[in-house]
Structure 1
């Protein structure tokens, strides 16, 4: 059987976790992000590519040409 708690206040979360732990229940947390997972993955990959030196540097004067 699965039970889902919605709109749990942060101050009650430790109590619920402790109760679940004492009853030997499995806890599965899910946080919802307002961002699309695929979009976040692309942004993170782009940042990693820049760190790895795969980016292209364009001089500021050449941007509007």
Structure 2
């Protein structure tokens, strides 16, 4: 059988979906969308670098990291 991923847009929708699944005796596993602290810290660092103008183009990145020397 296939699985589905549901994206409710409100707490009320989530509550309703859970109630329907329980009523139909469909098994489900609630999952949190919270990112680990190290990921959040890395994202904040990247945003700060962008705001400070510390950016390079995709071309520069490719040349720096994928060029064969």
Length-normalised TM-score, structure 1: 0.46
Structure number with higher helix proportion: 2
Length-normalised TM-score, structure 2: 0.44
Give the number of the structure whose alpha-carbon radius of gyration is greater: 1
Higher RCO structure (Cα 8 Å, ≥6 apart): 1
